[in-house]
Chain A
C-alpha cells in the first residue's frame, strides 16, 4: 500500500489519477519532457537546416539570374558565377574589414546595426545592418547587373527578397522572394512567377532622380509601377515600402550613387 512504499516515485504513481497533486505533477512532467525533446531536436538539427537554407538561397539567386532573358548566356561568359561583395551601407563602398566569411559574425554584434528613426523606417525594420552582401555581374569591366538583397515587413511577417537591377541602376530586371510568411493564395502569390513577371522593365527613378517606384493598387499605370495583388493590400504595400526603403538614403542609396560614379 501507499504508506508502506518508501520510494517517492512509486508513491506518486500510486496516487489516484483524480488527485490534484498528480494532475499538476503529470502535466509538469509531460510538458518538461516534451520541451526537452523539441528543443534538443531544434538545436541539433539547426546547422543542417541553415546549410540547406543557404544552399536554397544560392539556388534562388542563380535561378533569378537565369530567369532574366539573355542573362544565362551572360552568366556563362562571366565564368558561370557571380562575384559577391560585402558593402558598407553608410558610405556605399566595399567594406574594408568585413568579408563574406566574417559577415555573419559582424552582424551578430549589435554595434554593426543602425537604429532607424520612425519617420525614415518605412519598411518597418526598426534597425538595419551596416553591412550587406550584394552580387555583381560584370561584362567588359562594366557592371551589367546588380543583385540587391532586401528585407521588409509584410502582412504575416518578414519578407526577404532579392531585387535585380541593371547596370544603369534604374531598370529592374527581376525580383526573387527568398522567404516570406504571407497568407497562401493571397499575399503568398508574391512567390508566383506570374506576379513577379511585371517587375522586369520597371523604372526606379524619374529624370530628376527622384525615387518613383511603387506597387500599384490594381494594374500598373506608369513606367514606375508594378501590378498589385487583389486582396493582399498589406503585402503589396510591404513590398513597395521595402523596395523604396532599400533604394533610399538609408538603404543602398550611397551604393547606387557609387556605382553610377563608376567606383565599382
Chain B
C-alpha cells in the first residue's frame, strides 16, 4: 500500500522535476493556444485537471476489466465523454470564457497528457494513487500555463487577470505593450526559455544530443 510520503512524492514530482509540459513536452498545443491571458489559462488548467483526475479515477476503477485489445478506445471514450460534459458546463455557466477557449476545451480529448497519464499510470495503479498522480500532473500543466499566460498578459497588455498592472503609454503611463506577446510565436519563445531554464537548473533533465556534429567535415571535402 502506498504510504503518505509516497503519495506526496507522486503529487509533487510532476510539478517541476517530472513536469509533463517541460520535460515530456506533452500538451503543447493547448499550452500555446490558450495562454494569451491568465483567465483563459486558468480555466483551461482547471478543466484539464478535472478531466485528467476524473478519467484517471474511472480508468483505475475498471483497470482490471479493460480488455487489452480495446484499452485505448475505452480510455478515449471515457476522456471524450468527460470533456463534452465539462464543455457543456462551461457553456452553461461560464459562457464568456467558453467562447474565449473556443475549440481548445474539446481538444483536451486529444491532449497527449491525458491519455499519457491514464495509459502509463492509472491503468496499473489503485484509484487513490492514480488520482493523486493525475492531479499532480494537472497541477504541473497548470503551473506552466499560468506562468506563460501571466508573462504574456503582463507584457502583451500590461495586465494581470484584466487588472492594469503596468500603466500603458496610451493612458499616460510608461509601458508600451509588446503585441508580439499576444501572438503564437511568443508562446514558443517563452516555453523554450522555460524548458531551458529548468534544464539548466536540473541538468539531469537534459537529453543526450541525437547527432554529433562531424569533426572532419573539411577533411572529407
Contacts and interface: CB of A to CB of B under 8 A. Distances in A.
Contacts of A45: 88-89, 91-92
A108 interface: no
A48 interface: yes
B92 A38 contact: no
Interface string A175-195: 000000000100000000000
A18 interface: yes
A48 B70 contact: no
B128 interface: no
A30 interface: yes
A121 to B, nearest CB: 30
Nearest to B84: A38
A17 B93 CA distance: 41
A35 B208 CA distance: 46
Contact of B81 (A22, A26, A37, A52): A37
A182 B77 CA distance: 27
Given A18-B67, A18-B68, A52-B95, A30 B88 contact: no
Contact of A34 (B68, B77, B95, B102): B77
A35 B78 CA distance: 10
Interface string B80-123: 11001100110111010000001100000000000000000000
Interface residues of A, number: 23
B65 A52 contact: no
B66 interface: yes
Contact of A52 (B66, B74, B91): B91
Contacts of B69: 18, 23
Contacts of A258: none
Given A30-B77, A52-B92, A56-B95, A22 B85 contact: no
Interface string B49-85: 0000000000000101111111001100110110011
Contact of B77 (A13, A31, A42, A53): A31
Nearest to A37: B81
A79 to B, nearest CB: 27
A205 to B, nearest CB: 36
Given A13-B65, A17-B66, A30 B74 contact: yes
A41 interface: yes
B85 A41 contact: yes
B77 A26 contact: no
A56 B97 CA distance: 13
Given A26-B74, A30-B78, A184 B102 contact: yes
Given A27-B74, A48-B93, A41 B84 contact: yes
Contacts of B64: 17
Contact of B78 (A23, A34, A48): A34
Interface string A11-26: 0010001110011001
B74 A49 contact: no
B92 A26 contact: no
A26 B66 contact: yes
A180 to B, nearest CB: 12
B118 to A, nearest CB: 13
Contacts of A52: 91-92, 95
Contacts of A26: 65-67, 70, 74
Nearest to B93: A48
A22 B102 CA distance: 38
Among A34, A45, A53, the one with the most B-chain Cβ atoms within 10 Å of its Cβ is A34
Nearest to B95: A52
A49 B66 contact: no
A49 B88 contact: yes
Contacts of A31: 77
A184 B99 CA distance: 13
3 smallest CB-CB distances across A and B, nearest first, come from A34-B81, A48-B92, A45-B92
Interface of A: 13, 17-19, 22-23, 26-27, 30-31, 34-35, 37-38, 41-42, 45, 48-49, 52-53, 56, 184
13 contacts: A17-B65, A17-B67, A19-B67, A22-B65, A23-B70, A26-B66, A26-B67, A30-B62, A30-B74, A41-B88, A49-B88, A52-B92, A184-B102
